[in-house]
């Protein structure tokens, strides 16, 4: 593995070995429930416990650049606060636009230039550096490019999975909100306890009443009886 990291260090002309790499990817299928994910590789291997996902808070609608700015800001504000240590390399899934947004976030935190950062664009798998108009093309067979691709693909997978989970959770909450007296908070409480609409439907009135009270439990039972007819 060290061999690959040494090669990556050479290809990207880094000053230090990229032992800890953090990679960001956005996911907003059809513009709904925008989320971002960050994966972390240490010594060229996934460090799952270090993975993080983010629900986008400050951006309305699908805006890849603004979302990237938000999550990079949130991630490294927290790292600075907790003094948990910066990565040796940041990888952004995307071309110049996404990379530029991430760089703006680092500048606002006074971290720009202190951590190497690159973007990998999907079309030709070219590598972008801040302030360089021309991308770097690493040999497609190179182990260092394959490592960057693997990290990027893992970030993409993690973002998509979180996005699907969030979307299905939101649609379940919307379904439960059809019941009179059940709002977002109650729906979220029910899902947290029962882990799904099917389990709520199968639960006894007393079991549901323990979570949301007798009145709402009766209304939920009536609702499920109605839609099953």
* CA–centroid distance for 217 within its chain: 35
The tokens describing 193, both together, are: 């306890």
105 plus 156 within the same structural domain: yes
Identify whether 202 is part of a domain: yes
36 plus 89 within the same structural domain: yes
107 plus 217 within the same structural domain: no
Q: How far is CA 8 from CA 5, 88, 138, in A?
A: 5, 12, 10
pTM recorded for the entire structure: 0.73
Residue 2: exposure state from Cβ atoms within 10 A (0-12, 13-18, ≥19): exposed
CATH number of the domain at 127, please: 3.30.420.340
45 plus 132 within the same structural domain: yes
Residue where a domain stops, chosen among 143, 164, 185: 164
DSSP assignment, residue 119?
Answer: E
Nearest CA among 142, 148, 145, 119 for reference residue 132: 119
Alpha helices by DSSP H, 130-194: 143-176, 184-194
Quickly tell me which residue has 């919307």 as its tokens.
174
Total structural domains in the chain? 2
The more confident residue out of 12 and 226 is: 12
| pLDDT band, residue 168 (cuts 50/70/90) | low
| pLDDT band, residue 224 (cuts 50/70/90) | confident
CA atoms of 143 and 222, how far apart (whole Å): 60
Given a contact cutoff of 8 angstroms between Cβ atoms, the answer to whether 155 and 120 are in contact is no
Identify whether 20 is part of a domain: yes
182 plus 204 within the same structural domain: yes
Q: What is the mean pLDDT of residues 66-95?
A: 94
140 plus 194 within the same structural domain: no
Identify whether 171 is part of a domain: no
Identify whether 146 is part of a domain: yes
CA atoms of 121 and 137, how far apart (whole Å): 11
158 plus 216 within the same structural domain: no
SS (H, E, C) 11-46: HCCCCCCCCEEEEEEEECHHHCCCEEEEEEEECCEE
CA atoms of 80 and 103, how far apart (whole Å): 16
Identify whether 67 is part of a domain: yes
CATH number of the domain at 207, please: 1.10.150.20
Residue where a domain stops, chosen among 164, 189, 209: 164
Full domain range(s) for residue 194: 177-223
Q: What is the mean pLDDT of residues 154-163?
A: 80
63 plus 33 within the same structural domain: yes
Residue 148 pLDDT exceeds 60: yes
The Cβ of residue 42 has, within 10 Å, a number of other Cβ atoms equal to 14
192 plus 107 within the same structural domain: no
118 plus 186 within the same structural domain: no
89 plus 191 within the same structural domain: no
What is residue 228's predicted lDDT score, i.e. its pLDDT? 47
**What would you report as the CA-atom Rg of the chain, rounded to the nearest whole angstrom?**
22
What is residue 217's predicted lDDT score, i.e. its pLDDT? 87
| pLDDT band, residue 80 (cuts 50/70/90) | very high
Q: What is the mean pLDDT of residues 70-88?
A: 95
What is residue 167's predicted lDDT score, i.e. its pLDDT? 59
Identify whether 147 is part of a domain: yes
- Strands 126-128 vs 117-121: parallel, antiparallel or unpaired: antiparallel
Assign 3 to helix, strand or coil: helix
CA atoms of 44 and 183, how far apart (whole Å): 45
Identify whether 172 is part of a domain: no
Per-residue pLDDT reduced to its tens digit, 33-72? 677 889 999 999 999 999 988 888 887 767 789 989 999 9
Identify whether 150 is part of a domain: yes
20 plus 113 within the same structural domain: yes
Dihedral sign of CA atoms 6, 12, 18, 23 in order: negative
């Amino acid at each position: 593995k060290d061999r690959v990291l040494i090669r990556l260090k050479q290809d990207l002309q880094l000053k230090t070995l990229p032992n800890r790499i953090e990679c960001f990817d956005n996911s907003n299928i059809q513009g709904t429930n925008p989320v971002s994910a960050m994966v972390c590789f240490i010594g060229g291997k996934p460090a799952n416990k270090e993975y993080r996902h983010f629900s986008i808070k400050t951006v309305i609608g699908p805006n890849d650049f603004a979302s990237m700015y938000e999550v990079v800001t949130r991630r490294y504000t927290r790292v600075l606060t907790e003094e948990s240590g910066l990565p040796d390399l940041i990888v952004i899934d995307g071309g110049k636009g996404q990379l530029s947004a991430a760089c703006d976030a680092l500048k606002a935190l006074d971290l720009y230039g202190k951590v190497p950062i690159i973007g990998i664009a999907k079309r030709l798998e070219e590598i972008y550096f801040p302030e360089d108009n021309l991308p770097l093309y690493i040999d497609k067979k190179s182990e260092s490019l394959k490592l960057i691709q693997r990290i990027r693909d893992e970030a993409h997978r993690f973002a998509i999975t979180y996005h699907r989970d969030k979307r299905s959770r939101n649609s379940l909450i919307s379904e439960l909100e059809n019941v009179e007296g059940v709002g977002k908070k109650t729906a979220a409480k029910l899902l947290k306890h029962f882990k799904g609409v099917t389990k709520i439907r199968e639960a006894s009135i007393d079991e549901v009443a323990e979570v949301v009270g007798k009145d709402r439990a009766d209304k939920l039972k009536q609702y499920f009886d109605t839609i099953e007819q």
